[in-house]
Amino acid sequence: MPKKPLILDPSEIDTSRVIADIEEIRKYNPQRYEMEQLTAICYEDPERAICVGYKDLGPDEFWIRGHFPGMPIMPGVIMCEAAAQLASYYTMKYKLMKSPMVGFGGLQDVRFRGVVRPGERFVIVARLLKVRSTMMTCEFQCFVRQNLVCEGVILGVPLSPEAARADSGSESSSQSQSS
C-alpha cells in the first residue's frame, strides 16, 4: 500500500510550542500510569480537525525489557494506542461525541514503516474524518525525526464508564475491548 499524502508536513511541526501538557491531557483522557501514551499536545486546528501530539520515550517504558531484549523497539500496538489517545483527546476536548469517554472501536489500513526506540520523540498527527453519534473516524500518521513510521485509521466508539465497570466481569466484554 503506497503512503498517503501527509496530513501535515512534519518539518513544519513545532513540538516546543506545548498547548496541553500531561495535566491538561488528563482532563480529557482516562488513561494513567504506564498506559498514558501522550506527553503533550503541540498543535490544534479545529477548522481542519487536525491535532498533533507526542510521546517522549524514556529509558523505563514498560515494554523495553520484553520487546525485544537487547533491541528495544516500541510495539506497533502501543503506537496505535498513542494515536487513539490523541484522537480521543481531540474528540473529548471539542465535545464531538455525546459520551463521557471514547473507546477503541477498531483500526483500518494500519502500516508500520519504521522503528521507534527509547529516547526518541514519537510525534502523532491526527485528522478527524467523520463523527457520528455511534462512531468517530480519524486518520493518523506518526513520525520520528520527520520520518513516517506508522499510519492508519482509528475508529472510536462512545463508552460509558458505568457500562464498562458493569461489564468487566463478563466473558464477552473482556474479549471485545482489550485496549
Would you please indicate which residues are annotated as catalytic (active-site) residues?
Answer: 67
C-alpha cell at 138: 480519524
- The residue type of 78 is I
Burial 59-76 (b: 16+ CB within 10 A, else e): eebebbeebeeeebebbb
Query: Shortest CA distance to 11 belongs to which of 87, 153, 125?
Result: 125
How far are the Cα atoms of 41, 42, 53, 127 from residue 19, in angstroms, in the given order?
Answer: 6, 5, 10, 17
